[in-house]
């Protein structure tokens, strides 16, 4: 499958490219002081593009076009409100909102005062919200009265100010109406200029052990968002771009906010739930030219059938990309047939902050491969000693440190941060892969127990911790079970407490308990009751053995099993 183009552009850039050249695009190249919100929004106004539509928002009941000038003003008003509430540079301000225009105005308002923004996925329930606000010591939260019910305010001593979209002032409770507050403020704001290494955003993500980790990125990351926006997303100023990811996840910020707005395009945001008709209608109505989504979504669209595609005019779509989980060759072939476009896979992680490996528009696509590293970043397959392995040899997928959008710390957890860098000179991703003779990377799997369900990263520990809070559950072990549609589904093995009998009813009740306490996507789709779970002598549940049971494979070394 070739695009008719050759690799020469890519090769040329690869040899000559310097990140310092990208810095010259930005005003801070001279001043040394930066603010990503300025580069995403205000700069376009100053350069005469204020009337251009920045945000084209719609959901089933609301539809709004917001120009760059308006986005500047809205975010300025919000920044002024934060100032009036004495929120300071460096403070963590979380946004727990659906992806509405208020989300994006708040997001840039937080950045404009030099505070650190923490986007929270709208579907999070109490335990997930609490862990994140608590760990980050967030001082302010933007949310709605509905979602506030999931915020255990009494348990969060640092959280002093709550700004409510569609809510009322209540000084005693520290509640402030978003609408009233913003209305009172001036639309002029004097930008807080910060250092390149100043913290910008925290995304919580899961490992195989412990609570979610607060991955911290700094303003300097913008050069990678900007440049990959050009190279990989192929953004030109007249593009209409749609990234389907929620801003609670890193794709929804790096490529749902930063990359498109740094490149000055019109950014389409669609609220509401997934449905094939709704998505195709969104592509058609907005005349989307560049579309970034995920394998599970493409598989669902494929499952919905070609007839649905044929109802819509998708002729404006020029470029399609995917991220988050393995993209099946079959889906690429189907995409070529119905969209008449190749779906370009990309690889990166919350921790890498931006795209590291990609299929460029002008590259030959090898279906099943994630592509090749972007210029300016050296990704490789290495062994345990950090030696680069020859082609077609499986090993650790690693990236040579540093690069601009690499995370700068794990919030409040320097030990966890160090774990990624145990092989000197390398960031070790936790993925296994191999490279072919031409440098294309082929994903093989995860080295740890992290679950990837529908492209959402779930830590088994977080789910297990919730499960054992249920009165019937004595012990729980959670694994990812291969699934055609979702990549993996969450499967829980559970040993019940005395007095509880296994039943289908109980399975449903336990699944609902996780759904309402943690998040719908973290709830096990399958539960199997066992009399006892395999544990090490020190009492740790051996997920490896659970996986072997599930797949009917040999369980490997059992010398540490308790009996
Ligand atoms: O296992 C890899 C998988 O998703 C993980 C990163 O998840 P997260 O931090 O949530 O970021 C997702 C989107 C940036 C990786 O360690 N992954 C990501 N992209 C791909 C992938 N697996 C296979 N193919 C990909 N293209």
* Residue 348 alpha carbon, nearest atom of ligand 1: 14
Rg of the chain (C-alpha set): 24
Both tokens assigned to 190: 């004097």
Q: Report whether the peptide linkage leading into residue 503 is cis, meaning its omega lies within 30 degrees of zero.
A: no
Q: What is the mean pLDDT of residues 512-535?
A: 96
Separation of 325 CA from ligand 1 center, angstroms?
5
* Residue 445 alpha carbon, nearest atom of ligand 1: 1
Closest CA to 483 of 514, 456, 512: 456
* Residue 443 alpha carbon, nearest atom of ligand 1: 23
Per-residue CA distances from 143 to 6, 49, 93, 122, 472 (Å): 49, 31, 11, 10, 34
**CB-based pocket (< 6 A), ligand 1:** 205, 250-251, 323-326, 345-350, 370, 429-431, 443, 446, 452, 457
User: Is the CB of residue 441 less than 8 Å from the CB of residue 355?
Assistant: no
CATH number of the 30-218 domain: 3.40.50.12780
Residue reference for tokens 């255990």: 152
| Residue nearest ligand 1's atom 11 by CA | 349
Separation of 113 CA from ligand 1 center, angstroms?
32
Task: Write phi, then psi, for 485 (nearest 5 degrees).
Answer: -85, -50
Separation of 3 CA from ligand 1 center, angstroms?
25
Mutation test of ligand 1: which of 119, 249, 325 has the most ligand atoms closer than 8 Å to its C-beta? 325
Separation of 183 CA from ligand 1 center, angstroms?
41
* Residue 254 alpha carbon, nearest atom of ligand 1: 14
Contacts (Cβ under 8 Å, ≥6 apart) of 149: none
User: Is the CB of residue 96 less than 8 Å from the CB of residue 122?
Assistant: yes
| Residue nearest ligand 1's atom 6 by CA | 349
Residues 259-285: pLDDT tens digits? Answer: 999 999 999 999 999 999 999 999 999
pLDDT band at residue 462 under the 50/70/90 scheme: very high
* Residue 322 alpha carbon, nearest atom of ligand 1: 26
What is the percent of the chain where pLDDT is above 70?
98
> Could you say which DSSP state residue 364 is in?
P
pLDDT over threshold 90, residue 483 = yes
| Residue nearest ligand 1's atom 21 by CA | 325
Per-residue CA distances from 267 to 37, 285, 324 (Å): 15, 13, 21
pLDDT over threshold 60, residue 2 = no
What pLDDT was estimated at residue 233?
98
Superfamily of domain 457-551: ANL, C-terminal domain (3.30.300.30)
pLDDT band at residue 399 under the 50/70/90 scheme: very high
User: What is the SS3 assignment for 341?
Assistant: coil
CA distance 323 to 406: 18
Mean model confidence pLDDT for the chain = 95
User: Is the CB of residue 102 less than 8 Å from the CB of residue 77?
Assistant: no
Residue reference for tokens 């072919």: 436
pLDDT over threshold 70, residue 1 = no
What pLDDT was estimated at residue 555?
75
Residues 289-324: pLDDT tens digits? Answer: 999 999 999 999 999 999 999 999 999 999 999 999
Residues in the chain: 563
CA distance 400 to 406: 10
Separation of 262 CA from ligand 1 center, angstroms?
23
pLDDT over threshold 60, residue 331 = yes
Domain extent listing, the chain = 30-218, 457-551
What pLDDT was estimated at residue 7?
55
pLDDT over threshold 60, residue 206 = yes
> Could you say which DSSP state residue 40 is in?
I
Query: 126-136 and 460-467 helices cross at what angle (nearest 10)?
Result: 120
Q: How buried is 28 (Cβ within 10 angstroms: 0-12 exposed, 13-18 middle, 19+ buried)?
A: buried
CA distance 108 to 258: 10
| Residue nearest ligand 1's atom 7 by CA | 349
Classify strands 319-322 and 343-347 as parallel, antiparallel or unpaired. Answer: parallel
| Residue nearest ligand 1's atom 18 by CA | 324
CA distance 342 to 361: 9
Query: 101-112 and 68-84 helices cross at what angle (nearest 10)?
Result: 60
Both tokens assigned to 12: 């040329």
CA distance 482 to 525: 12
User: Is the CB of residue 374 less than 8 Å from the CB of residue 228?
Assistant: yes
CA distance 559 to 563: 9
CA distance 300 to 274: 10
Measured at the CA of 460, the angle between CA 457 and CA 465, to 5 degrees, comes to 125
Q: What is the mean pLDDT of residues 186-211?
A: 95
Pinpoint the alpha helices (H) of 113-165: 126-136, 145-148
């Amino acid at each position: 499958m070739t695009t008719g183009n050759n690799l020469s552009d890519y090769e040329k850039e690869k040899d000559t490219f310097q990140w310092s050249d990208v810095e010259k695009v930005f005003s801070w190249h001279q001043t040394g002081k930066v603010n990503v919100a300025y580069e995403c929004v205000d700069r376009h106004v100053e350069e005469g593009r204020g009337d251009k539509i920045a945000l084209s928002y719609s959901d089933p009941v609301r539809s709004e076009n917001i120009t760059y000038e308006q986005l500047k003003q809205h975010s300025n008003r919000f920044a002024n409100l934060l100032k009036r509430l004495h929120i300071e540079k460096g403070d963590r301000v979380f946004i727990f909102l659906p992806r509405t225009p208020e989300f994006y105005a708040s997001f840039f308002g937080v950045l404009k005062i030099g505070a650190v923004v923490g986007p929270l996925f709208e579907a999070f329930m109490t335990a997930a919200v609490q862990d994140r606000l608590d760990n980050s010591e967030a001082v302010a939260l933007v949310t709605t009265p509905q979602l506030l019910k999931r915020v255990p305010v009494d348990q969060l001593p640092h959280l002093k100010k709550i700004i409510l979209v569609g809510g009322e002032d209540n000084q005693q409770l520290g509640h402030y109406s978003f609408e009233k507050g913003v209305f009172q403020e001036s639309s002029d704001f004097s930008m807080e200029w910060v250092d390149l290494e100043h913290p910008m955003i925290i995304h919580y993500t899961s490992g195989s052990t412990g609570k979610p980790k607060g991955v911290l990125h700094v303003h300097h990351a913008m050069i990678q968002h900007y440049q990959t926006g050009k190279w990989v997303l192929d953004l030109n100023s007249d593009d209409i771009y749609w990234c389907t990811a929620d801003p609670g996840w890193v794709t929804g910020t790096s490529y749902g906010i930063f990359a498109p707005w740094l490149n000055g395009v019109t950014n389409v945001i669609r609220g509401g739930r997934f449905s094939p008709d709704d998505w195709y209608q969104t592509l058609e109505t907005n005349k989307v030219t560049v579309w970034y989504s995920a394998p599970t979504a493409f598989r669902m669209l494929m499952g919905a059938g070609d007839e649905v595609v044929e109802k819509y005019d998708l002729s404006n779509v020029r470029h399609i990309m995917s991220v988050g989980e393995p993209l099946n060759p079959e889906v690429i072939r189907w995409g070529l047939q119905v969209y008449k476009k190749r779906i370009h896979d990309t690889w990166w992680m919350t921790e890498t902050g931006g795209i590291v490996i990609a299929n460029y528009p002008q590259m030959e696509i090898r279906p099943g491969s994630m592509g090749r590293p972007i210029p300016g970043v050296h990704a490789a397959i290495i062994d345990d000693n950090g030696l680069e392995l020859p082609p077609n040899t499986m090993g650790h997928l690693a990236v040579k440190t540093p690069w601009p959008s690499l995370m700068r710390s794990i919030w409040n957890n320097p030990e966890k941060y160090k774990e990624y860098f145990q092989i000197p000179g390398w960031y070790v991703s936790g993925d296994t892969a191999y490279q072919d003779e031409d440098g294309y990377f082929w994903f093989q799997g995860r080295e740890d127990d992290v679950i990837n369900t529908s492209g959402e990263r779930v830590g088994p520990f977080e789910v297990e911790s919730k499960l054992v809070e249920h009165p019937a559950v004595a012990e729980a072990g959670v694994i990812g079970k291969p699934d055609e549609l979702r990549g993996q589904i969450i499967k829980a093995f559970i040993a019940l407490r005395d007095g509880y009998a296994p039943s289908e009813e109980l399975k449903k009740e336990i699944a609902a308990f996780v759904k309402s306490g943690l998040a719908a996507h973290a709830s096990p789709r399958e539960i199997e009751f066992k009399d006892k779970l395999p544990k090490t002598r020190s009492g740790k549940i051996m997920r490896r053995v659970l996986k072997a049971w599930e797949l009917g494979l040999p369980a490997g070394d059992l010398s540490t099993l308790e009996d």
